[in-house]
Amino acid sequence: MKPSAPKNITWIIGMVCGILGIIGHFAQVEFLSEYSFTLLLVGFIVLLVGTSVKGV
């Protein structure tokens, strides 16, 4: 299995989820703070799937 570059939209979704998770951890934002770990995990999973599956 060779890793491939994810599509732009997949990369953007993964990065936005990851950044929101980091912001939620360090800043006191009601929704983000409650789901900060989940957002970060989803961001990493989206990026993992984007590089593992060709065409995503």
Listing DSSP states for the chain in one string gives ----PPPHHHHHHHHHHHHHHHHHHHS--HHHHHTHHHHHHHHHHHHHHHHHSTT-
Rg value, the chain, Cα: 12
Q: Per the structure, how many domains does the chain have?
A: 1
Q: Is residue 3 part of a domain?
A: no
Average the pLDDT over 12-41 and give the result. Answer: 94
Q: Is residue 2 part of a domain?
A: no
Q: Which structural domain, as residue segments, surrounds residue 24?
A: 8-52
pLDDT per position as a tens digit, 8-19: 999 999 999 999
pTM of the predicted model as reported, rounded to 2 decimal places: 0.85
Q: Is residue 29 part of a domain?
A: yes
- Which pLDDT belongs to residue 31? 87
Nearest to 10 by CA among 53, 41, 47: 47
Average the pLDDT over 26-39 and give the result. Answer: 92
How far is the C-alpha of 52 from the C-alpha of 55, rounded, in Å?
9
Asked if residue 48 has pLDDT above 80, the reply is: yes
Q: Is residue 42 part of a domain?
A: yes
